[in-house]
Structures are given as structure tokens and as C-alpha cells.
């Protein structure tokens, strides 16, 4: 039975810091594998928790010798690799605050973030990242040293130290060094994505991290956590990945496989068979599209699976809520044995304790589909300012809802429907921006999320939309673009979508062909084409999408429905002017890029 009282969680984490809890994990699970990665020859390498601690002790000693100490800030520009975990943890043992920034950051962004953080030191992964820092080195007055992990050819690199030099240090006494961190010290700064203005540094302290890990642990409620396999592939500058594969690992003893290229996640999952997985909706959409594309190659199998899903879906709903009959359970077990288990095995999702989606809306139908085929997918909701989670129901899932308040967290809506919460997960404020902090955090500890929501009689939260992203049509109708976009993406040929309509007479949309499904569909229908852009203009593709539009819009009233679409063949990639690193829409960027196409729909 999960405790739901904040005071009870406070008692559990009293006096804890990230270093103290890491040392407990090392003592309990020293021989377990902590970190795995592929070397340059595609072979697997690994560190046990005891090895991990030794690397941390040496890196901490090296950082201390370089001048990093209590209260200092360390900028990290590193992909998902074991060195990140070592350096981030080592910085905490010397009392410093590690700050991870997105690897796509331009020199101008590096300058802004580093100066805002007041960083004393920076460590980058390779020469490309080093050169980005070098371009603005003269504009970083607080930075005394820049280190590099993989220098490669050093002919044009003048880094102050290397990762190898740090590890060559005599190890620090971690037990003694743990005293350098206090619960109210900053554990990190998470910089917001900047979709609604300049990036803000979200201040998260050790207490926030310890409290949130305990909160999630109670919500998850597993018998054991040590040794559970996860794949780390999202940017460490994002709170979801930082909490999932770094902080929880230090506390709970996960086995982390580092995937430095997010596009390779599916291949890694196929090898690792993770037990726990977090993915932004686009990750699940890509897996779904890949499975559908594979099934489309065999129409007979495609129909058999579709029929099995249709039969099993209502049974899974009853099984979720404990109302399924024995006969229904046996029917599901049969369908799972003959169809679903094979699909899960092929994509490496056959050993899941929990599959989680978050950071953006996912179509309810897609979440239900995954649950029907035996992937225990649930939706989590939260922000950087809540150290990650605010609501989550990992087991009693209601598709379309993001769960209920996590243990110890209070949840409410204000008079306008804005989602608010209070708990030990709520951040300390925005660095150097007291006015912005006051806008979202009141004196009683209530945090304003900026999201509009609804809470049902069971306490489940539904997110209507971002307060600042609601579409207000020329007729004065308030609409949720994310709900429309989720519906559009349920058309098999559509991989991405954005709803348009602010101050417009009706709602339109840009939709992007799914690069996995569209070619299979074209081959099946005997369509020849030279590129996806060309395929997007083919009359049969246009007819297919326009024909499916009325079906997916059926659940909306006439004023809300998308009336026109423009089909695009260029996939929107993360970490560009169109999408954030976690695949959230950058609406201003998309509107600017496709201004002509948008205007043409209203001509």
C-alpha cells in the first residue's frame, strides 16, 4: 500500500542526499552491472556498481584538483554514455552542481546558458562540442577550465584537461566526500526548452531528487528494482531522462544501457529487452508505425492481428479493472500466445514491468493498442519544475488521462482549470528570475503548470492543452490543438501533425507522411514515386488522407474539426527549429517554415 502523505515521504528521505543514497546502492549491489555501452567495434562493455563508484571517486578527486568545489557549477555537454553518469555524480561528491545542456546547443545558446548558470568549469564529449564552446570562450568570464572526454586529433584542441587525466587521480574517500552535499544544495539546473520564451534554469535540490525518487518508488511498488534493465537514450538535459536513467539508477540499482544516438533506440531495445522504458510519444508512434508497416507486407497476417486486437481490447480493459471473467482471461491468453507475444518479442518489449510515455500527449487509441498487445504502457505527467512527475497511474490506466496525483503530491485546478500541485517534488524556483518564479510558485508552495486540465470523479487528470497554446478561432471558439493532432496521427499514413486555426475562420492542419508506413502503403497500391515529397502529392495519397479525415474528426463538434489538410513529405526531426529534442512541436518554427502552405489553405 503506497503512502500518500507528504510528511511520511519527508520522514523517509530525511537527511538524504544523492551521494548518501548512491553509496548505499554500491554497498548493497556492488557486483551488479550498473552501466553498459558499445565500444567502437560494436562490442559490449560494462561497469559494475563497484567499478562505477571507483570511477566516481577518481573523477571527483580530479575535479577537486582542477579547482571545482562547494557551490560551483559544472556544465556538461555529453551524449548518453557512461562518462556522463560518472561526471555528474562526481560533481555532487565535491559539493558542486552539474548542469547538462542539449548537445544541439549553438555557440550563442552555450554562451547564454553557461553565463546564466555562472559555471566555473565545463566538460564536453568531443572536438565538435569543444569547438562550439571555443567560439564563445572569450564571452564566458566565469569559466576557468574546459575538459574533454574524447579529444581524438588534438592538433586544434587546447582543452585544459581530459577525462583520462581525471581518472588517473587517486580516488577520493567517497564516505567522507558525501558530507560535501546537503539536502538543500542544488543538485542540478534543468533549462526549459524555450518554446514559450527564453530558457529558464529550473533549480532542483538534493531534497527534490530524493523525495521524487521515493515518490516514484511508492507509485511503482515493485518487489525489487536492482538489476532492472533500462535503455538511456533521451538527452540528459531533459528531466525525464535525468530522473529515469540517472537519479533512479543511483538510488535503485538499475542496469543502464547507454544509447548515444536516439535514432538507434529500437535496435538497442531489440538487444537489451528492457524491463522499464520511458519514451516520448514519438518513440511509441515510431514503434507502432514500424509494426504496422511490417504487418502490411502480409495482408492475411495484418487482418488476423487487427481482428485479435479488436477482440482483446475490451478484455484488457476489464482485466485492468479486475472485472474480466475466467473465460475472457483465457481468451486473451490464447490471443497473446498466438499473436501478441511474437510482436512484443520482435521489438524487444517482451520483458516489460512498466512502459511509460510522457512529455507530450499520446493518442488514447495508440496507448490502448499497446496495452492490448501486452505492453504495460501508461502515461505520466509532469514538468521540469516538478522534478519530473506530478501524476501517474502505472497499473489502473485510463487511456486519455495522465493518471492521478503521485504519492505525497496534492493536485487541484484553479478557477480557470489550470493544473496546480504541491509536494516535495516542486522546484526551488528559476535561477536569477524571482519575478518568473513568483508567476508560477506561490507562498504556500503551490505550483502553476500552465496546463489546462480536467479531473474526473476518481481523481484522474486529463490535460486539455497548454494554456498558451489553445487555439482561439476567429469565431471565438477555444480549441485544444493537441487533441486534434493526436486524432490526426491515428490515420495510418500520418506520422506527425500540427493543427492551425488561431484567429482563423476554421481549423486546418499540416500532416507529415509516416516514413515507415507510407512506402509500404504505396507499394501495396502499386504507386511509383521518387521521394516522400512526391508521394505526398499523389492523388491516391491525398484521397486516402482526406477520406480518413472525417473518421478521425468524428468525435469533435463541427467548430473544432479540421476542415483542410496539407500533406508534407519531409519528416520533422527532433532538435531542430521544428521540434524540441524530445519531439514537442515548436509551433512558431513550424508556422514560419510553412507560412505559404498555411496561407494557401485559407486563400
User: β-strands 145-150, 391-392: how paired?
Assistant: unpaired
Res 3 pLDDT > 70: no
pLDDT at site 126: 93
Show the cell assigned to 440.
508560477
* pLDDT mean over 136-142: 95
Local confidence band at 298 (pLDDT 50, 70, 90 cut-offs)? confident
Q: In Å, how far are 292, 433, 448 from 439, measured between CA atoms? A: 45, 10, 8
* Other Cβ atoms closer than 10 A to 470: 15
- pLDDT tens for 213-228 read 999 999 998 889 999 9
pLDDT at site 196: 54
Rounded CA separation 26/32 (Å): 9
Local confidence band at 104 (pLDDT 50, 70, 90 cut-offs)? confident
Q: Tell me the fold of 281-350+352-466.
A: Rossmann fold (3.40.50)
Rounded CA separation 303/311 (Å): 12
Show the cell assigned to 547.
477520406
User: β-strands 161-162, 145-150: how paired?
Assistant: parallel
User: Of 384, 21, 442, 343, which Cα lies nearest the Cα of 188?
Assistant: 384
Each domain of the chain, given as residue ranges in start order, spans: 6-275, 281-350+352-466, 471-601
* pLDDT mean over 465-475: 71
User: Of 254, 213, 242, 221, which Cα lies nearest the Cα of 13?
Assistant: 213
In contact, 226 and 234? CB cutoff 8 Å = no
Rounded CA separation 147/122 (Å): 6
Helix/strand/coil for 410 = strand
Angle between helices 49-65 and 82-93 (to 10 degrees): 60
Local confidence band at 563 (pLDDT 50, 70, 90 cut-offs)? very high
DSSP annotation of 572: P
pTM summary value: 0.86
Show the cell assigned to 105.
546547443
Local confidence band at 197 (pLDDT 50, 70, 90 cut-offs)? low
Q: Tell me the fold of 6-275.
A: Rossmann fold (3.40.50)
Show the cell assigned to 272.
537489451
- pLDDT tens for 493-551 read 999 999 998 888 899 999 999 998 899 899 888 999 989 999 999 999 999 999 999 89
* pLDDT mean over 116-131: 95
Sign for the CA dihedral angle at 121, 125, 127, 130 comes to negative
Helix/strand/coil for 463 = strand
In contact, 432 and 116? CB cutoff 8 Å = yes
Helix/strand/coil for 191 = strand
Res 194 pLDDT > 70: no
Local confidence band at 155 (pLDDT 50, 70, 90 cut-offs)? low
Most confident of 106-110, 291-295, 318-322: 318-322
Show the cell assigned to 155.
592538433
Res 144 pLDDT > 70: yes
Q: Would you say how long the chain is, in residues?
A: 603
Instruction: Write b or e for each residue in 411-447: b if 16 or more Cβ atoms lie within 10 A of its Cβ, otherwise e.
Output: beeeeeeebbbbbbbbbbbbbeeeeebeebbeeeebb
Helix/strand/coil for 76 = strand
- pLDDT tens for 41-61 read 889 999 999 999 999 999 999
Res 324 pLDDT > 50: yes
DSSP assignment of 46-60: EEEHHHHHHHHHHHH
More confident residue, 262 or 272: 272
Question: Looking at domain 471-601, which CATH architecture does it have?
Answer: 2-Layer Sandwich (3.30)
User: β-strands 410-413, 418-422: how paired?
Assistant: antiparallel
Query: Quick check: do 6-275 and 281-350+352-466 share a fold?
Result: yes
Show the cell assigned to 237.
538535459
Mean pLDDT of the residues in the chain: 92
Name which of 11-25, 52-66, 96-110, 144-158 the model is least confident about. 144-158
In contact, 508 and 598? CB cutoff 8 Å = yes
Give residue for cell 543511483.
250
In contact, 520 and 297? CB cutoff 8 Å = yes
In three state form, how does the secondary structure of 586-601 look? CHHHHHHHCHHHHHHH
pLDDT at site 343: 94
Show the cell assigned to 157.
584542441
Amino acid at each position: 500500500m503506497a503512502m500518500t502523505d507528504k510528511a511520511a515521504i519527508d520522514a523517509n528521505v530525511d537527511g538524504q542526499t544523492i551521494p548518501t543514497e548512491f553509496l548505499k546502492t554500491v554497498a548493497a549491489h556492488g557486483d551488479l552491472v550498473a552501466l553498459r555501452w558499445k565500444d567502437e567495434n560494436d562490442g559490449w562493455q560494462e561497469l559494475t556498481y563497484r567499478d562505477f563508484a571507483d570511477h566516481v571517486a577518481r573523477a571527483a578527486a580530479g575535479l577537486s584538483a582542477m579547482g571545482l568545489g562547494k557551490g560551483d557549477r559544472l556544465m556538461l555537454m555529453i551524449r548518453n554514455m557512461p562518462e556522463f553518469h560518472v561526471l555528474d555524480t562526481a560533481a555532487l561528491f565535491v559539493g558542486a552542481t552539474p548542469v547538462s545542456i542539449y548537445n544541439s546547443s549553438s555557440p550563442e545558446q552555450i554562451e547564454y546558458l553557461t553565463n546564466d548558470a555562472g559555471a566555473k568549469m565545463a566538460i564536453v564529449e568531443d572536438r565538435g562540442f569543444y569547438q562550439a564552446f571555443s567560439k564563445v570562450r572569450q564571452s564566458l568570464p566565469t569559466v576557468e577550465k574546459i575538459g574533454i572526454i574524447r579529444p581524438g586529433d588534438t592538433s586544434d584542441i587546447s582543452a585544459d584537461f581530459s577525462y583520462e587525466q581525471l581518472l588517473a587521480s587517486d580516488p577520493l574517500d567517497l564516505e567522507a566526500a558525501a558530507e560535501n552535499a546537503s539536502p538543500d544544495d542544488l543538485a542540478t539546473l534543468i533549462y526549459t526548452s524555450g518554446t514559450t520564451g527564453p530558457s529558464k534554469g529550473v533549480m532542483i535540490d538534493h531534497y527534490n531528487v530524493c523525495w521524487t525518487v521515493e515518490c516514484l518508488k511508492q507509485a511503482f511498488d515493485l518487489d525489487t528494482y536492482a538489476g532492472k534493465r533500462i535503455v538511456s537514450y533521451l538527452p540528459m538535459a531533459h528531466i525525464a531522462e535525468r530522473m529515469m536513467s540517472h537519479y533512479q539508477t543511483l538510488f535503485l540499482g538499475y542496469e543502464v544501457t547507454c544509447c548515444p544516438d536516439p535514432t538507434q533506440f529500437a535496435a538497442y531495445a531489440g538487444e537489451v529487452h528492457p524491463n522499464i522504458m520511458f519514451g516520448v510519444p514519438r518513440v511509441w508512434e515510431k514503434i507502432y508505425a514500424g509494426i504496422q508497416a511490417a504487418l502490411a507486407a502480409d495482408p492475411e497476417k495484418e487482418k488476423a492481428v487487427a481482428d485479435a486486437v479488436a477482440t482483446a481490447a475490451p478484455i484488457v480493459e476489464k482485466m485492468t479493472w479486475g472485472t474480466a471473467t475466467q473465460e475472457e482471461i483465457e481468451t486473451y491468453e490464447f490471443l497473446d500466445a498466438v499473436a501478441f507475444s511474437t510482436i512484443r518479442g520482435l521489438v524487444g518489449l517482451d520483458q516489460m514491468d512498466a512502459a511509460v510515455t510522457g512529455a507530450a500527449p499520446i493518442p488514447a487509441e495508440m496507448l490502448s493498442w499497446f496495452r492490448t498487445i501486452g505492453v504495460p504502457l501508461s502515461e505520466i505527467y509532469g514538468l521540469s519544475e516538478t522534478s519530473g512527475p506530478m501524476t501517474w497511474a502505472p497499473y489502473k490506466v485510463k487511456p486519455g488521462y495522465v493518471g492521478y496525483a503521485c504519492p505525497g503530491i496534492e493536485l487541484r485546478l484553479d478557477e480557470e482549470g489550470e493544473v496546480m500541485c504541491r509536494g516535495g517534488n516542486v522546484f526551488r524556483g528559476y535561477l536569477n528570475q524571482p519575478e518568473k518564479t513568483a508567476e508560477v510558485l506561490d507562498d504556500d508552495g503551490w505550483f502553476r503548470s500552465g496546463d489546462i486540465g480536467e479531473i474526473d470523479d476518481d481523481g484522474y487528470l486529463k490535460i486539455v492543452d497548454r494554456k498558451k497554446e489553445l487555439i482561439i478561432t476567429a469565431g471565438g471558439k477555444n480549441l485544444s490543438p493537441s487533441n486534434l493532432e493526436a486524432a490526426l496521427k491515428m490515420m495510418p499514413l500520418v506520422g506527425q501533425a500540427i493543427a492551425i486555426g488561431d484567429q482563423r475562420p476554421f481549423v486546418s492542419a499540416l500532416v507529415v507522411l509516416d516514413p515507415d508506413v507510407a512506402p509500404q502503403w504505396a507499394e501495396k497500391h502499386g504507386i511509383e514515386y521518387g521521394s516522400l515529397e512526391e508521394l505526398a502529392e499523389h492523388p491516391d495519397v491525398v484521397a486516402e488522407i482526406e477520406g480518413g479525415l472525417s473518421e478521425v474528426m468524428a468525435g469533435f463538434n463541427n467548430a473544432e474539426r479540421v476542415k483542410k489538410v496539407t500533406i508534407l513529405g519531409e519528416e520533422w526531426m527532433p532538435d531542430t527549429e521544428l521540434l524540441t529534442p524530445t519531439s514537442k512541436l515548436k509551433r512558431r518554427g513550424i508556422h514560419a517554415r510553412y507560412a505559404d502552405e498555411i496561407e494557401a489553405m485559407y486563400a
